[in-house]
Amino acid sequence: MASPIIEQLLGAVPAADHAVVDVRIGSSWTAVVVQVDGDRRCGLAATLSSAGRDEPAVRDAGRLATLGSRALCELARSASPVEVSVGMAAINALLPRADLPWTEVNAAELLAQRGAQGKVALVGHFPFVDWLRERVQMLWVLELAPRPGDLPASAAPEVIPQADMVALTSMTLLNHTFDGLLALCRPDAQVMLLGPSTPLSPLLFERGVHLLSGAVVENIDAVLRGVSEGAGFRQLHRLGVRLVTMTRIQRSENPA
């Protein structure tokens, strides 16, 4: 059974099939390219490991592109971690483009600005952790595989309710921990979802997220080559991925 947020995202993608142009599963990233209204669109997701499983990591390997876009999205419900990555990449390729402004603002800079006078909980160890720690009042980093200075993920119930700002890695969508972590956030806390797997959809705003910092693939062919050759995200960024942020628009309850 997929998590509630995955079910909601699946409900937001088109029910009708679109042509699947390409599927690439690299060591770090997974990419799915679909044809929508005459345009190629590429979605990214982190590649999860299926190490230790007896079953094939991808049951339909070799013919994924023939299954249709909807079937690929449904893989987000799979028990296979690699198939979940394919499903999330397909969802990201197919989600309707939101009629909201995107800004090219670095997620770390936003966290530093909004958390300068507050306590920040970062779920996931990002490369900017040391830089950010010097710019906010308090920084907790929660990690499944903690590094020096990190806290174990099991500390989330204690730490997250104390935070004025909570930044969740989009990996939480893939490992189905997003819903539980979001429930730990205080009602007045600012919540950011960040990382290339982030769906750029207002649906997340309805769930209580304030900032979506994700990725838009612009040079599809170069990025596909990079994915196939094991590129890390910084390399994909240079090959043709734009980092963008969407902000929830707060509407007045008493308009003039």
Q: What is the pLDDT of residue 255?
A: 39
108 assigned to some structural domain: yes
CB proximity list for 127: less than 8 A, separation 6 or greater: none
pLDDT tens column, 52-80:
777 889 999 999 999 999 999 999 999 99
- pLDDT confidence tier of residue 100, bands split at 50, 70 and 90: low
- The yes-or-no verdict on residue 90 having pLDDT over 90 is yes
Question: The pTM is what?
Answer: 0.92
225 assigned to some structural domain: no
Q: What is the pLDDT of residue 73?
A: 97
Q: What is the pLDDT of residue 188?
A: 96
- The yes-or-no verdict on residue 31 having pLDDT over 60 is yes
73 assigned to some structural domain: no
Of 99-108, 143-152, 167-176, 235-244, which gets the smallest average pLDDT? 99-108
- pLDDT confidence tier of residue 104, bands split at 50, 70 and 90: confident
**CATH number, domain containing residue 182:** 3.40.50.11590
Q: Retrieve residue 226's tokens.
A: 């990079």
- The yes-or-no verdict on residue 97 having pLDDT over 80 is no
62 assigned to some structural domain: no
96 assigned to some structural domain: no
Per the structure, the complete domain to which residue 142 belongs is given by 102-214
Q: Average pLDDT of 184-205?
A: 95
Q: Retrieve residue 66's tokens.
A: 């023939």
12 assigned to some structural domain: no
- The yes-or-no verdict on residue 251 having pLDDT over 70 is no
CB 244 within 8 A of CB 103: yes
SS3 100: coil
- The yes-or-no verdict on residue 250 having pLDDT over 60 is no
CB 31 within 8 A of CB 227: yes
**How would DSSP label each residue in 109-146?**
HHHHHHTTTSEEEEES--TTHHHHHTTSSEEEEEESSP
44 assigned to some structural domain: no
The kind and range of the H/E element at 192 are strand 190-194
188 assigned to some structural domain: yes
Total domains in the fold of the chain = 1
